[in-house]
Structure 1
């Protein structure tokens, strides 16, 4: 008996038609990976790398400090509150995240530093710099696609659409246009300007 599988490609674009990276695209199918993974968020150049990380319930996260300055990493999220003071070269203890949701992470010393942990039980992909997320090997059927990005207006639900994936081949590409707020990481730190 032949196994049929389809492909779904989602493209995130901004209001000017430019590709949007770091958008989390989920489809309403359970994550096929059963084993828990450890994810690493580094701090380099007073920036969290990566900006957005997709995780699944049961996964853990470790924060590394590759800078030459101290960082105070924290989150007040109800699904994953933590804080670590990390000197240069140090790493945090692993934090296990058991519940789905979005966790904003900051640095109490450097206000411009921000990252997001997106914990979901659904299949999820992060869009590339070309704004694309691709799901292969999908059974035929109708899927609900949701897209979230940190620069969407807060308090609003993720963008969503439905798409039919054929038994073989690719579904029509699904473009989703986003109206994004300015990147909070590029806000000028006036406290340290010489004026």
Structure 2
């Protein structure tokens, strides 16, 4: 088979996959102990697919001396607001590679905003309250979500074909707290259980 005919077949396959109906990927994520892993972030990267588009609003509150939600998923380019709902002042910061920032002391019902322009994991802290921690996961993939308390997540409209599935959680004892695998998404969708650390 010539290079030209191989390229033609590849283009036909690509056109067919783009014309195929989107699939639903249903996931159940389990931790190293076999229990459901809540607040795990799953990213499905499909080759050649457009990046996620910010739609917002995206909010990371400081409330009851905690970041709420504890884990926030946003697309690259998202502007996240950090409103203070507490009666005390907060000083929010991150030293993460994906985004370094420092929001100096601000009080109740005041807020600051930060634009997250690179994909990655952004760990949050408060200079005043050492017990406060949170995470913002910045993803380029539009097929990204966070598991619920039962470790369950449904990702809709995934194009059928090969994809890279990445799971992030502090419970994952691997570099950057991430585990990745290649999958093939059938046109009819797929249900999959992911066991971390087994």
Q: Does 1:136 align with 2:156?
A: yes
Q: 2:101 aligns with which of 72, 75, 82?
A: 82
1:17-76 deviation digits (Å, cap 9, x = unpaired): 221111110011246643453411111111100111111111111111111211111112
Instruction: Give the number of the structure whose alpha-carbon radius of gyration is greater.
Output: 2
| Cα distance change, pair 35–68 in 1 and its aligned pair in 2 (3 A) | closer
Give secondary structure in 1 for the equivalent of 2:134: strand
Bigger mean CA offset, 76-85 vs 4-13:
76-85
Give unpaired runs (5+ residues) of structure 1.
180-195
Contact preservation (8 Å) 1:116, 1:150:
no
Partner residue of 2:56? Answer: 37
- How far off its partner does 1:16 sit? 2.9
Give unpaired runs (5+ residues) of structure 2.
1-18
CA distance in 2: counterparts of 1:61 and 1:158, whole angstroms: 23
Q: 1:147 aligns with which of 167, 172, 181?
A: 167
* CA RMSD between the two structures: 2.1
CA distance in 2: counterparts of 1:91 and 1:58, whole angstroms: 19
Contact preservation (8 Å) 2:171, 2:177:
no
| Cα distance change, pair 33–144 in 1 and its aligned pair in 2 (3 A) | closer
Per the normalisation by structure 2, the TM-score is 0.79
Per the normalisation by structure 1, the TM-score is 0.80
CA distance in 2: counterparts of 1:112 and 1:35, whole angstroms: 30
Task: Choose between structure 1 and 2: higher helix proportion.
Answer: 2
Q: Does 1:17 align with 2:34?
A: yes
CA distance in 1: counterparts of 2:136 and 2:108, whole angstroms: 22
The count of aligned residue pairs is 175
Bigger mean CA offset, 27-36 vs 10-19:
27-36
CA distance in 1: counterparts of 2:52 and 2:118, whole angstroms: 16
CA distance in 1: counterparts of 2:109 and 2:165, whole angstroms: 40
Partner residue of 2:181? Answer: 161
Contact preservation (8 Å) 2:124, 2:135:
yes
